């Protein structure tokens, strides 16, 4: 038992450089596997390979508060390998006495460089309402095939506590006709303070509903684990997303 515990401690004590190497190896492996999968598909999914990447504004009106998220990924020009990638998350609780403690704000913006199909490397800034601004580097990998959209976005902070983070989004849509689709999504994030070797924040989100033209709606839930003690913060309710081109 003690040997197993000591091995686990060694695994958790990862240096920033080793963490980056492992994240890079993971994303490269995923790229090769999913690229092979996409090439093996006999029918290209034109509906899920947009020539113009949209800006997505997503909301969840829940039992404890309101979640808002925006995601965008844009090339500087149609032929440019350079672009901009950004995510912003806001969560506000209804209880006014607890807003100063429980409200959460996060935003990150990256300048990106496309290396191979679907894979970008990036450098940018990250902001969080408790820790402030910090420079960050990362990767973003997007796959669109057969009604599936996969986004993997690991990143690493270059100052302060040198946090490492992995973000993953998996969406599946089943199309009934030109306007209507079934829409599902799972989204997860894990962020760790590597300097102090402690858990920072992690979450799991789920969505189940329908898509009508540029709107998505249904039921959803957000489940957070905050800080070293992994304090839980959950929000269950109805979601509405708007896709802006």
Taking the C-alpha atoms of residue 18 and residue 24, their distance in angstroms, rounded to an integer, is 10
Q: What's the confidence (pLDDT) of residue 23?
A: 44
114-136 confidence digits (pLDDT tens)? 998 889 999 999 998 877 899 99
Q: What's the confidence (pLDDT) of residue 62?
A: 95
40-97 confidence digits (pLDDT tens)? 433 434 434 444 578 999 999 999 999 999 998 888 888 899 999 899 999 999 998 8
* 8-state DSSP, 196: T
Q: CB pairs under 8 A, 24+ apart, for 115-119? A: 116/31, 117/35, 118/31, 118/34, 118/35, 118/142, 118/143, 119/27, 119/31
Q: Is the pLDDT of residue 99 over 80?
A: yes
Q: Is the pLDDT of residue 212 over 70?
A: yes
Distance of CA 140 to the CA centre of its chain: 9
Q: Is the pLDDT of residue 21 over 60?
A: no
Q: What is the pTM of this model?
A: 0.76
Considering the domain delimited by 2-244, tell me its CATH architecture. Answer: Beta Barrel (2.40)
Q: What's the confidence (pLDDT) of residue 217?
A: 98
* 8-state DSSP, 26: H
Task: Print the SS3 string covering 80-146.
Answer: CCEEEEEEEEEEEECCHHHHHHHCEEEEEEEEEEEEECCEEEEEEEEEECCCEEEEEEEEEEEEEEC
135-169 confidence digits (pLDDT tens)? 999 999 999 999 999 999 999 999 988 999 999 99
Q: What's the confidence (pLDDT) of residue 132?
A: 84
Tokens 């403690």 belong to residue: 101
């Amino acid at each position: 038992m003690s040997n197993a515990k000591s091995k686990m401690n060694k695994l958790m004590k990862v240096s920033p450089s080793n963490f980056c190497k492992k994240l890079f190896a993971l994303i490269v492996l995923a790229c090769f596997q999913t690229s092979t999968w996409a090439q093996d598909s006999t029918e290209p999914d034109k509906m899920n390979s947009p020539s113009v990447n949209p800006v997505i504004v997503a909301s969840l009106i829940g039992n404890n508060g309101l979640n808002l998220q925006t995601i965008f990924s844009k090339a500087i020009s149609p032929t440019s390998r350079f672009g901009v990638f950004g995510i912003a998350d806001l969560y506000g609780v209804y209880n006014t006495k607890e807003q100063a403690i429980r409200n959460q704000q996060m935003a990150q913006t990256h300048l990106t460089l496309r290396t191979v199909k679907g894979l970008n490397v990036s450098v940018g800034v990250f902001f969080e309402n408790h820790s402030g601004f910090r420079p960050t580097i990362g990767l973003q990998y997007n796959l669109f095939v057969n009604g599936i959209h996969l986004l993997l976005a690991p990143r690493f902070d270059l100052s302060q506590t040198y946090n490492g983070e992995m973000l993953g989004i998996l969406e599946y849509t089943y199309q009934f006709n030109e306007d209507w689709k079934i829409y599902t999504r799972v989204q997860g994030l894990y962020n760790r303070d590597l300097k102090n070797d402690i858990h920072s924040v992690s979450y799991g989100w789920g969505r189940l509903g329908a898509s009508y033209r540029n709107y998505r709606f249904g039921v959803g839930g957000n489940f957070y684990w905050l800080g070293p003690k992994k304090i839980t913060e959950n929000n269950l309710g109805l979601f509405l997303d708007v896709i802006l081109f």
